[in-house]
Amino acid sequence: MSIFDIFKKIKSGFTQEKETLKDKPIDQNYLDQLEELLITSDFGVEITQKIIEEINKNIGGSVKTIRDAEFVIRNILLSVLESVEKPLYLKGSPFVIMVVGINGSGKTTTIGKLASLYSERGKNVLLVAADTFRAAAIEQLQEWAKKSSCDILALQTKADPAAVAYDGVHKAIAKNYDVVLIDTAGRLHTQKHLMEEVKKIKRSIAKLGNYPQEILLVLDSTIGQNALVQAKEFNNALGVSGIVLTKLDSTSKGGIIFAISQELKIPIRYIGMGEKIEDLRAFVARDFIESLLD
Ligand code: GDP
């Protein structure tokens, strides 16, 4: 079940007739199911309580049917997500995006999708393989570079990641690239090592000017609450300026997008809706919520 099915699931428990579904009166059973689904889908306690209280307060008055309840849900969810709907504008050249995230989050795939998106817009994109810890990471990035027809700077494994990132940005300045996407490690010997390494990369490219303009954190939505924990950790270490939430096509735990937004207020730049190159969407709060409550 994906996050986009959870509200359909509640409704389908009430009647099979789709037409009249939204006119069904709500009752305690509906509220109990709603509360349970919001919690198990990782919307977080605060947002869940807010929704349930708001419905309870108006039940029998302005809230009689599923349609009325969804109106309340829509407004509350929209107010949370609209505050983090801030698209990424590529201002300045080269625009340097340092991409961070734990292994398996979809970081490399996201870099490939972004490379393809920006190339299609006519940007000259340079990929930089600064995850030198894993040989496979460099190879994977080389494949994405080929797929999206972008250049790549990759040195041998075990090269100093901060030096590779520095060389990449240096090259982009010298050769007039528009966008630089820096891949970074997603796992080292310890989490502390990892945070030290990404901090060092940030410091090294800052020596070349006002870079990076964006520190983009890739988070796997299927891990629910752990995504929030990761977001806090990277944000404390680096100051994250944007988030990409991946795998929203394959989890009912995607409610974490609300908990993260509510708590950290970091802009959500894109969402990943599949494995293919075209499956990255710019994040639009209203569209997201309409898909949820469709
Ligand atoms: P990395 O270790 O963070 O670089 O992660 P990868 O980019 O290698 O992705 C890990 C797995 O997640 C791969 O199998 C990807 O195809 C898959 N993946 C990445 N993004 C998405 C997404 O938005 N939806 C789905 N369903 N799978 C994704």
User: pLDDT tens digits, residue range 162-174?
Assistant: 999 999 999 999 9
- At residue 16 the predicted structure's pLDDT band, cuts being 50, 70 and 90, is low
- Classify residue 59: in a domain, yes or no: yes
Binding residues for GTP: 101-108, 183-187, 246-249
Using pLDDT thresholds of 50, 70 and 90, give the confidence band for residue 5: confident
Indicate which atom in ligand 1 lies nearest the CA of residue 105: 3
Residue 294 confidence (pLDDT):
78
Q: Is residue 290 part of a domain?
A: no
On whether both 249 and 175 belong to a single domain, the answer is yes
If one counts the domains in the chain, the total is 2
Question: CATH number, domain at 115?
Answer: 3.40.50.300
pTM: 0.94
CA 196 to ligand 1 centroid distance, Å: 24
Our mutation pick for probing the ligand 1 site, out of 109, 188, 222, counting the most ligand atoms within 8 A of Cβ, is 109
Q: Which of 1, 275, 276, 279 to mutate to test the pocket of ligand 1 (most atoms within 8 A of CB)?
A: 275
The CA 241 to ligand 1 mean position distance, Å, reads: 21
Q: What is the pLDDT of residue 6?
A: 79
Whichever domain contains 57, its CATH number is 1.20.120.140
Q: Looking at the structure, tell me whether residues 129 and 70 fall in a common domain.
A: no
Residues 135 and 192 in one domain: yes
Instruction: Give the end of a domain, one of 38, 61, 83.
Output: 83
> H helices within the chain, ranges in order?
6-12, 28-40, 45-58, 66-82, 107-120, 135-147, 161-174, 191-206, 225-238, 256-264, 285-293
Spell out the residues 6+ positions from residue 250 whose beta carbon is closer than 8 angstroms to its own. Answer: 2, 222
69 and 114 share a domain? no
**Environment class of residue 163 by beta-carbon count within 10 Å: exposed (0-12), middle (13-18) or buried (19+)?**
middle
- How many Å apart are CA 144 and CA 151, to the nearest integer? 10
Q: How far apart are CA 24 and CA 42, in angstroms?
A: 26
What's the complex ipTM? 0.99
133 and 73 in a single domain? The answer is no
Single residue among 26, 51, 83 that ends a domain in this structure: 83
Whether residue 144 lies inside any domain: the answer is: yes
158 and 225 in a single domain? The answer is: yes
Q: How much distance in Å is there from the Cα of 103 to the middle of ligand 1?
A: 9
- 173 within a domain of the structure (yes/no): yes
Mean pLDDT, residues 139-161:
91
258 in the same domain as 140? yes
Domain that holds residue 243: 95-284
CA 274 to ligand 1 center in whole angstroms:
8
Instruction: Tell me, yes or no, whether 68 and 208 share the same domain.
Output: no
Question: Quick one: 76 and 161 in the same domain?
Answer: no
Query: Is the pLDDT at 10 greater than 80, yes or no?
Result: no
User: Do 245 and 128 have their domain in common?
Assistant: yes
Asked whether residue 292 is assigned to any structural domain, the reply reads: no
Looking at the structure, do residues 275 and 132 belong to the same domain, yes or no? yes
The pLDDT score that the predictor gives to residue 11 is: 66
| Beta-strand relationship, 151-153 and 280-282 | unpaired
Domain annotation covers residue 181: yes
Strand order in the sheet with 95-100: 151-153, 125-130, 179-184, 95-100, 214-220, 242-246, 268-272, 280-282
**Would the pLDDT of 269 be above 80?**
yes
One domain, residues 162 and 214: yes
Give the chain's mean pLDDT. Answer: 92
Q: Which is the closest atom of ligand 1 to the Cα of 246? A: 23
Domain membership flag for residue 161:
yes
Q: Which atom of ligand 1 is nearest to the CA of 183?
A: 4
Whether the CA torsion 162, 163, 167, 168 is positive or negative: it is: negative
Where does a domain end: 56, 83, 110? Answer: 83
Q: Which residues line ligand 1 (CB under 6 A)?
A: 101, 103-109, 186, 246-247, 249-250, 272-275, 279
